[in-house]
Structure 1
Amino acid sequence: MAVDEPTRPKRGVVAAAAYLPHWRLDRSAVGAVLGSAQGSGTRSVAGYDEDPLTMAVAAGRRVLAATERRPDALWFATTAPVYAEKTSAPIAHSALRLDPSVMAADAGPGLRGASAALRSALMSAEPATLVLAGDVRCGPAGSADERDGGDGAAALLIGSDDDGDLAAEYLGGASATGEFLDRWKAPGELRTHAWEERFGQQRYGELLGSAWAAACKDAGVEQTEVTAAALVGMHPRAAAKLSKSLSADGVTVVDSLTASIGFCGAAHGPVMLTHLIEQAATGDVVALASMADGADVFLFRVTGQARRNGPTVAEDIGSAHGDVPYARYLQWRGVLPVQPPNRPEPARMSASAAGRRGEWKYGFVGSRDRSSGAVHLPPARVSFDGGAVDDMEPAAMADSTARVITYTIDSLAYSPSPPTIFAVCDFEGGGRLPLELTDVAPADVRIGMEVEMTFRRINTADGIANYFWKAKPASGADDQTNAEPHTTGGA
């Protein structure tokens, strides 16, 4: 008697979110300073206190807020890691307050890292895997990397349908790999080197065509059944043949978004996949094709069960942002050194102190008095309301909003982008804490403004990146985004 095999659970994207930083750099402004044509449009710019990791955490928070599922593994991909020997993923793990049993590791530091992590997650036996990708793309002043690059991040929670609906079911995919020297950069080098463009264009075209055909076969999908496709890579012309073929079969080749945000490195593929899922209708078959040291193609069927917290990619691009002057952008990237404030530079972070207070420093977890309900920031053993000792419970505050009750604009405190704005914030549900404000100009700060928490890099000393939480204008609050970033000022 034949025994029916159990139905294999479907895998795919449970939830997806992208994060694009607040600031934009107008390419025409770059051309005006350098006296050379730099094209049109804008590129996204990470703030002076942002890096690939902080942006990936921001995207990850949006994904985890959209679903009750929690990952069993975490991958972080970037071309610009914070450390060379230590991995960055455990920092994201702590900031997202994941269980200690969750494995966290880096995938990189190449452009293909995010595709490798995504493919691994889709093939994994883990119930759920969180794929984070973030990048800050820069280069020498006036270079193509500076002009065409962009900063951003995305998060994809990959899982199976046995724990609930999928936002996009994975149908199949394929990869093609071939070794050829196309783009390279030595560790610590600002400039990316590239071989003759036609060489990479030819090789990527061959690999992409091969991977596309194999992916359609693996998914059991005809090319004419694909609704929309995103072709991602540093060689747009390499995809010209496939793009023409897709268009002839009625497949929509979506805009790469490089005119508005630039190419976001390892994060661009996940950003585009998020964008595809957000824009698709129920039943649409969408494809992500990525070119980086080979080609990777993924095909999904959108279910219409998308979970979202925060703006879509299109909404984020279309909303108001701050314009950063080119000189300030160069300062933020360290290309144009300036005289810092006449104050001692910050000391390096204490690893032992951070280890003892990890939940507070990375997870922004305070304590709440079980008797009175008083919230203590930072966490305390003795309650200020009643004096109870060691009668506290954890109070996770990263997702709480707050109101500014007073603030000061300090031009003397050390900062990579002075002046520094400090505010005393009252949190919804209790708790008060002085915090640094970010992503806002001094003229736009006001008493009573609503703020939300954001994970940022405070400083770097002796090669150690020091992270903590800052406050920024809350999403959906009154528009405070049009002013330029604050400029260096005196006392």
Structure 2
Amino acid sequence: MTHTLQAYATYLPAWRLGPASTGARTARVVASFDEDSTTMATEAAGALLSTLGPGAPVPSLHFATTSPAYLDKTNAVAVHAALGLDETAFAVDVAGSGRSAFAALRGALTDGGLAVAADVRVGKPGSADERSGGDGAAALLFGPGPGIARVLARYSLSAEFLDRWREPTSTTGEQWEERFGFERYADLIRRAARETLAAAGVDEADHVVVTSPNAGVTKRAGTLVKGRLSTGGSPIGFSGAADTGLALASVLDTAGPGESILVLSAVDGCDALLLRTTERLPARRQRTPVREQLGRGREIPHLTYLAWRGLVERELPRRPEPDRPAGPPSDRAAGWKFGFNGSRCTDCGFVHLPPLRVCRRCGTADAMEPVPGTRLRGTVATYTVDHLAYSPSPPVVVVVADFDGGGRTSLELADPDPEALTVGSRVEPVFRRFFTARGVHNYFWKARPSTGAAPVEGSTT
């Protein structure tokens, strides 16, 4: 069966490290202290599914990252649970290097599934990695039938040489001299481009996307392979496994129907994918383009960023640290904890967040149906700003939200700006990491100011 690209979406976190902090020409995209590759993958995939509506088939989820939240545990199943996918959907991690993104993409292309890539890139203070890296996520959905782009050809070359590496126990990575990596990659990129275009019978691609952890490659991409209309790379700097998806998405945001896009990812070899857009693309672009997401950021101090990444130790509020979450209660409450599912009384229609067995309005017991809370938007009824509660980034802002259609609950506010918050502010649920205690991550939902985008819809196979 031939699968086509059906939809795409990206996610860029809200925070930015300013040029004055890094010496770079542009701001660096920074994930918050409560974000990781799992939560960002959920954001990107949820934004994609919201463009399709409920019931869109997702038979598999291939999750690529170089910064997995867990080892010896599949991170993709947390994304699967947060998206509300059917339990028969195959969820798997593809982790280890920037090339993992192409492995996830090829897996999703083969079985008509969802490829998601997300990374939190950490560089030594003052390093090129800190200046030129970026955190983010991208999602691509493949499936049968007409889509927004057809796959014309793909090609891969593998090569062993030492350009970039990181020990499993290290937070930051290493890189050999840039010129050496560029010389090795240049030939691989040209060969992969030539073979891919020849296989499709295309003389020249309209758009060329070149991504690589080697800065020399991205700086001189136009000298290696040039597109008729555009040549570029990742819009946020090297973002690990998310690099290829973010770069492709930024082209899909502006490309016209019938245009060819050659994607080249130079990581331990070179992987190539040639696409041709269809007339469906303009009507099915992601709701918020990459460039618009990039321009929405809020600056944070360099010291705060370093503390979030564990590169400096700051004094935290003098309160007891949280206990490690336990497996059995987390499992019993998985529908609420990961899916943010409330309950609606089938007798009177009253909505409960969190879910209950007995209706608060009419008293009927065990007459409930699930309500996917991720589809809901709410209004702040009241809130509190707590400067004493334990948090890696105080203050802690907690809102009580009345959700559209019923249901009231209290949620911590993500990426808070207390000065901009008022009673009546609109909020939406967002999947975040509450805290980590003794190696266990406590994932749950927070609230954030609503962007006005359509709600995330669950999907089933």
User: What TM-score, normalized by structure 1, do the two folds share?
Assistant: 0.88
SS at match of 1:70: coil
Aligned-pair CA distance for 1:251: 4.6
Structure 1 residue corresponding to 2:37, chosen from 31, 52, 58: 52
Aligned-pair CA distance for 1:309: 4.9
* Matching of residue 371 in structure 1 with residue 347 in structure 2: yes
Aligned-pair CA distance for 1:252: 1.8
Deviations 1:290-316 (A, max 9, x none): 111111111111113132453111221
* Matching of residue 238 in structure 1 with residue 217 in structure 2: yes
Alignment of 1:74-113 (within 5 A): 74-113=61-100
Amino acid at match of 1:368: R
* Matching of residue 42 in structure 1 with residue 17 in structure 2: no
What residue number does 2:183 align with? 202
User: Would you say the 8 A contact 2:234–2:244 is kept in 1?
Assistant: no
* Matching of residue 338 in structure 1 with residue 322 in structure 2: no
SS at match of 2:93: strand
What residue number does 1:480 align with? none
Please give the alpha-carbon distance, in whole angstroms, between the structure 2 residues aligned to 1:399 and 1:309: 18
Alignment of 1:242-321 (within 5 A): 243-244=222-223, 246-247=225-226, 250-254=228-232, 256-257=234-235, 261-306=236-281, 307-318=284-295, 320-321=296-297
What residue number does 1:229 align with? 208
Please give the alpha-carbon distance, in whole angstroms, between the structure 1 residues aligned to 2:193 and 2:143: 24
User: Would you say the 8 A contact 1:65–1:309 is kept in 2?
Assistant: no
Q: Which structure has the larger Rg over C-alpha atoms?
A: 1
User: Would you say the 8 A contact 1:183–1:193 is kept in 2?
Assistant: yes
C-alpha change, 1:115 and 1:356, in structure 2 (3 Å) is same
Aligned-pair CA distance for 1:239: 6.1
User: Would you say the 8 A contact 1:404–1:448 is kept in 2?
Assistant: yes
Aligned-pair CA distance for 1:70: 2.1
Amino acid at match of 1:194: Q
What residue number does 2:459 align with? none
Amino acid at match of 1:296: D
Amino acid at match of 2:19: R
Amino acid at match of 1:203: R
What residue number does 1:215 align with? 196
Deviations 1:365-423 (A, max 9, x none): 01100011111111111111111110000011112110001001111111110110011
SS at match of 1:471: strand
Aligned-pair CA distance for 1:219: 2.1
RCO comparison, higher one (Cα < 8 Å, 6+): 2
Aligned-pair CA distance for 1:236: 4.0
* Matching of residue 400 in structure 1 with residue 398 in structure 2: no
User: Would you say the 8 A contact 2:211–2:233 is kept in 1?
Assistant: no
Deviations 1:177-204 (A, max 9, x none): 0111211111120231222222211111
* Matching of residue 137 in structure 1 with residue 121 in structure 2: yes
Aligned-pair CA distance for 1:262: 2.7
Please give the alpha-carbon distance, in whole angstroms, between the structure 2 residues aligned to 1:378 and 1:179: 52
Please give the alpha-carbon distance, in whole angstroms, between the structure 2 residues aligned to 1:274 and 1:106: 21
Q: Show structure 1 runs of 5+ residues with no match.
A: 1-8, 31-37, 478-491
Greater alpha carbon shift after TM alignment, 375-384 vs 207-216: 207-216
User: Would you say the 8 A contact 2:431–2:446 is kept in 1?
Assistant: yes
Deviations 1:241-276 (A, max 9, x none): 7623644x735213542xxx3321110100111111
Pairwise CA RMSD: 1.6
